Amino acid sequence: MKKVYGSAAEALEGLLHDGMFIAAGGFGLCGIPELLLQAIKDAGTKDLTFASNNAGVDDFGIGILLQTKQVKKMISSYVGENAEFMRQYLSGELELEFNPQGTLAERMRAGGAGIPGFYTKTGVGTVIADGKEEKTFNGETYIMEEGIFADLAIVKAWKADETGNLVFRKTARNFNAPAATCGKICIAEVEEIVPTGSLDPDSIHLPGIYVNRIVQGDHEKRIEQRTVRQA
């Protein structure tokens, strides 16, 4: 089964449609599937719902899709650093479903494991709990959260072999791994594709069984907040 594609646009061919639900990896600006997001922008697909830890910044990551108003709803845990996001949300142009970071990661992981719902204490007694089922376990109140089942997952990895086994680097592993599992189809963009069998099996973070398509490319690797000290 061929998994390696020549470009992000080729990897997305036949998969995009208006109104689809996409799970995207990335943590801050680390590990964002920037090539695939640019290809989605170029395709003009609209009315999109994204489950992602963040919405990028104004001109990078999901932020480029907000500029073109291709995003209808965000399911996120952090939406700072993005003026256009704030403007659209406050004006009622963009739907927003806030999730605590751990809850969002677990919703993705649960969807990837076929689990439709789970209980957590995070958010009890806050607006996060509004409208959600509550249940008591051992005298403690929990709220039910639903697993995420996306039409498409797009992620960014450091290395892949030709069968789709992925290796992430450092913080990029935070949301990319669970996001990759919860889509009906997963596309991974990577910095390097290596021959099958060359990756140490103990170093593989995501088995290739979860990955349907791979594309290699050059990445910008922006820094969200550069903090330096004086010499």
Low-confidence stretches of the chain (pLDDT < 70) are: none
Q: What is the pLDDT of residue 155?
A: 98
| 4-115+149-216 CATH fold | Glutaconate Coenzyme A-transferase (3.40.1080)
- Which among 56, 177, 58, 166 has a CA at the least distance from the CA of 111? 177
Write down the domain spans for the chain. Answer: 4-115+149-216
Strands 4-5 and 21-24: unpaired
Q: What is the pLDDT of residue 52?
A: 96
* Contacts for 167 with CB less than 8 Å, ≥ 6 apart: 157, 158, 159, 160, 199, 203, 204, 205
Q: What is the pLDDT of residue 26?
A: 92
| Interval 31-61: pLDDT, tens | 999 999 999 999 999 999 999 998 888 889 9
Q: What is the pLDDT of residue 73?
A: 97
Q: What is the pLDDT of residue 220?
A: 82
